[in-house]
Amino acid sequence: MKELTLFPQLLISEVKLIYLTKVKSSDRLQIKCAKDAFEIFMNVWDKNSIEHHEEFMLLLLNRSNKVLGVTKISQGGTSGTVTDVKIILQYAIKSNACGIIISHNHPSGNLNPSESDSRITQKVKQAAEIMDIQLLDHLILTPDNEFYSFADNGLL
């Protein structure tokens, strides 16, 4: 059998997680409510772009709802971004997450979820359930430091 390097088309790229430091479980932030998740997302969101284009992010949690990490899933234009459920699940599985919270921003400042927002929420929820991963919430953020929680509004 020839070496794989002779067939670069057979090489597969993967989702890579980078662990900067080992963090004790007792030192991890814990999500107890939607506001906790909102504050974490706002700390990592680029304040210079939140009102210019949509981004979709993922918060990864262990069984105790302690934060394993946060990652950007996609970045789009002023009125939307493409969200690939497979990429969300890749990160969740690779990090051994038991729960996830998804979030995206509305540059317009409108807090109301669109039909597309509701569809992707249900799609992620169903896909995650198959892997025994719980979608705990979907937050919509605005440049005005406001948020909408699907869970708090009974949509999850």
At 94, which CATH number? Answer: 3.40.140.10
Residue 137 covered by a domain: yes
Residue 103 vs residue 79, higher pLDDT: 103
- Report the distance separating Cα 72 and Cα 82, nearest Å: 12
The 10s digit of each residue's pLDDT in 21-80 is 567 777 789 999 999 999 999 999 988 888 889 999 999 999 999 999 999 998 877 777
Domains held by the chain: number: 1
- Report the distance separating Cα 129 and Cα 139, nearest Å: 19
Q: What is the pLDDT of residue 12?
A: 54
- Please name the residues in contact with 152: beta carbons below 8 A apart, sequence gap of 6 or more: 34, 137
- Report the distance separating Cα 51 and Cα 108, nearest Å: 7
Residue 19 covered by a domain: no
From the list 77, 41, 81, the residue with the least C-alpha distance to 59 is 41
